[in-house]
Amino acid sequence: EADIYQTPRYLVIGTGKKITLECSQTMGHDKMYWYQQDPGMELHLIHYSYGVNSTEKGDLSSESTVSRIRTEHFPLTLESARPSHTSQYLCASSGFGSGGYEQYFGPGTRLTVT
């Protein structure tokens, strides 16, 4: 059973606000990821981390930033939200376990910027 949590689940916020999407996992996984996805559409990797103090940009350019100060925590921040940021944001983690490298996903945050 995967234990990865995201808060908030839903967020409606006005343009220009600063927001932080939280993601935590209790599995001790070293790798964590952020994806952006429009409903039912492809997943786009926007950030990933291979461990504490390691962050990299993903395949899709994003104005968001991330930090990895603790193994279990990988928050995503938007300094100034815009309507184009409206999307679902999914956090995932992976690590060595039973020989596999599957990623386990959180429930997602559905962000709407008005």
Partner 1 sequence: AQKVTQAQTEISVVEKEDVTLDCVYETRDTTYYLFWYKQPPSGELVFLIRRNSFDEQNEISGRYSWNFQKSTSSFNFTITASQVVDSAVYFCALSEAPTTDSWGKLQFGAGTQVVVTP
Strand duo 31-37 + 43-51: pairing: antiparallel
Stretch that binds partner 1, among 15-23, 41-49, 61-69, 77-85 (CB under 8 A): 41-49
Among positions 53-92, residues that touch partner 1 (CB under 8 A) are 58, 88, 90, 92
Q: Which residues of 32-50 are buried (b: 16+ CB within 10 A; e: fewer)?
A: bbbbbeeeeeeebbbbbbe
Type of residue numbered 80: S
Stretch that binds partner 1, among 17-25, 62-70, 72-80, 94-102 (CB under 8 A): 94-102
- Does the footprint of partner 1 cover residue 41 (CB under 8 A)? yes
> How far is the C-alpha of 111 from the C-alpha of 88, rounded, in Å?
6
- Does the footprint of partner 1 cover residue 48 (CB under 8 A)? yes
- Does the footprint of partner 1 cover residue 33 (CB under 8 A)? yes
> How far is the C-alpha of 89 from the C-alpha of 45, rounded, in Å?
10
- Does the footprint of partner 1 cover residue 5 (CB under 8 A)? no
Type of residue numbered 13: I
Shortest Cβ 68–partner 1 spacing (Å): 14
Stretch that binds partner 1, among 11-19, 62-70, 76-84, 102-110 (CB under 8 A): 102-110
